[in-house]
Structure 1
Amino acid sequence: VAKLKRFYEFSLRLENALRSLLEALTSPPYAPMQHLEREQALAKQFAEILHFTLSFDELKMTNPAIQNDFSYYRRTISRNRLNNQQLDAENEVNNEMANRMSLFYAEATPMLKTLSNATTKFVSENKTLPIEDTTDCLSTMACVCRVMLETPEYRCRFTNTDTMLFCMRVMVGVIILYDHVHPVGAFAKTSKIDMKGCIKVLKEQPSNSVEGLLNALRYTTRHLNDDSTSKQIRALLQ
């Protein structure tokens, strides 16, 4: 329970960090591509956050015991309160904190949900900043990752599979954030993300390493089932 609390609190820190990074990577007077070239360390940090987020959520999705164990803890708290008893653990995770944590872990991909909400909130709160500045930053990062994954001269520089997995997670992460904040999403024809190319790159990898990422695109995006999504893209994700 204490470990689950640490991850929940870390998600709140990630939320604040992501909004600060978005502000730094989208603010005038530079265009998104200029920002990514000028602030490469910040772009790398953004990528690291997405890499961790997708890694965490993949593990969470394959461990249903997390929610079962936490539900048992909450029932134990309630039962002890009726008997005027208190667990030592309650000093660290009281009923109010347990309620917030429960909502967090009830999500299929809790960290990604946190970042999606943070990105959406960033866009809605910064009304003077054109939404294209944010979406262009995300689509540019997706394009860079796709090119690195599909171009032989880049791929030959990857010394291990971890680097490829890093690029794939970052690519999927920015696609999902883009889909949450763009009015028509990442799958429409007008999208600045080459979704066919991105999905094709993922499908070329061993299925055991990308199934979680494909599931993230299937189940955590907002616009996949919209009328604007082509049948070809839907078929690729089936």
Structure 2
Amino acid sequence: MGNLMQVLKKDGRRCGEDIFLDFENAQPTEEERPVYDQVKVVLDQSVGILEDLESYAGADEAIRNAIANPNSDEHQHMAWDAVCPLVKKLKEFYDYSSDLEEVLPLLLQALCAEDPVASLERKQALAKQFAEILHFVLKFDDLKMSNPSIQNDFSYYRRTLSRMKMNNAGGEDQAVVTNEEANRMSLFYAYPTPILKTISDATTKFVAENKDIPIDNTTDCLSTMAAVCRTMIEQPELSARFHNPETILFCQRVMVGVIILYDHVHLIGAFSKKNNSIDIRASIKVLKLHDNPHLEGLLNALRYTTKHLNDESTPKEVKKMLAA
């Protein structure tokens, strides 16, 4: 197992040196096992969810034909038959986000209830699971944003279902999701990064509801993980310990994810010049250190899903670094 050896403080800024979280090989201890097993049940589904999203082709042609031939029952039926299985798949994605929302507080409780640095060192398998959730979230949302068919399919489904109900054509009987579910799903998919919003809201809710856990514990956990990931990416002697080249991208996604969560939870956020916990300039720079085909998606996540980037307290240099 990797060794989280120390977190030093320099000039009031917490930064990682000689830090290594073994994202490739960490295994649960007996202490971690109860939470680990609960989270694993959910995480085991993530690969299949991403595969389904990557192969999501949409019903664009059938929908175009139906719109172009409004009086053709054949085209209307073909579009409806094409879109219904896709809406079922979108419901699975939506339900999975709810599953992640349920298990995330288990990990936050385990990692933040006591000193977060000591917890990250002692509970590396849980830290790995937390990282795996963030990696999944950013990858899912990046795929979702690049696939306009998702919004188009769902909008067509809702319009057609509403028209069928108005015409007494048995819309309710043919619905693959209930009207109430459709309303919730519509709000979910309206966001460019729906699962990231779900996770951000869940983290904010965790902080608000767990008054016995100091908010600094949660923000320290997030900022420490950001420092860990940044350090493992930028120091060749640490990144050389990875056996899988994809682990660098994994660390980049996780770093961006914890920065976003920190920015939502912390009062002044991750970008303020008064923030002494996250080196945001160095974090942005390490995203560009390695060849990364998903760089723009990660930069967009920082640009558009954070809370405090456009605050007056954000240095102009940082805004310039993230300028689209």
Interval containing the TM-score (normalised by the shorter chain): over 0.9
1:89-238 aligned at under 5 Å gives the runs 90=175, 92-191=176-275, 192-206=277-291, 208-238=293-323
**How many equivalent residue pairs?**
235
1: CA distance, partners of 2:174 / 2:313? 50
Match of 1:14 among 100, 109, 123: 100
2: CA distance, partners of 1:135 / 1:229? 18
Q: State yes or no: 1:26 paired with 2:26.
A: no
> In 2 relative to 1, CA 207–34 (structure 1 residues): closer, same or farther, beyond 3 Å?
closer
1:77·1:95 contact (CA, 8 Å) conserved in 2? no
2:107·2:126 contact (CA, 8 Å) conserved in 1? yes
Match of 2:169 among 85, 102, 110: 85
Matched residue, 2:51: none
2:232·2:238 contact (CA, 8 Å) conserved in 1? yes
2:141·2:194 contact (CA, 8 Å) conserved in 1? yes
* Percentage of pairs with the same residue: 64
Cα distance, 1:160 vs structure 2 = 4.1
Task: Summarize deviations over 1:21-78 as a string: whole Å, max 9, x none.
Answer: 1111111xx3101111111111111001000000000000101111011000001110
* 2:306 aligned partner, one-letter code: T
Query: Gapped runs of 5+ residues in structure 1?
Result: none
Bigger Cα Rg: 2
Task: Summarize deviations over 1:163-182 as a string: whole Å, max 9, x none.
Answer: 11110110000000000000
Matched residue, 1:72: 156
Provide the secondary structure at the position in 2 that maps to 1:224. coil
Q: State yes or no: 1:4 paired with 2:82.
A: no
> In 2 relative to 1, CA 75–187 (structure 1 residues): closer, same or farther, beyond 3 Å?
same
Provide the secondary structure at the position in 2 that maps to 1:128. coil
1:188·1:229 contact (CA, 8 Å) conserved in 2? yes
Cα distance, 1:199 vs structure 2 = 0.1
2: CA distance, partners of 1:97 / 1:236? 40
User: Over aligned residues, Cα RMSD in angstroms?
Assistant: 1.3
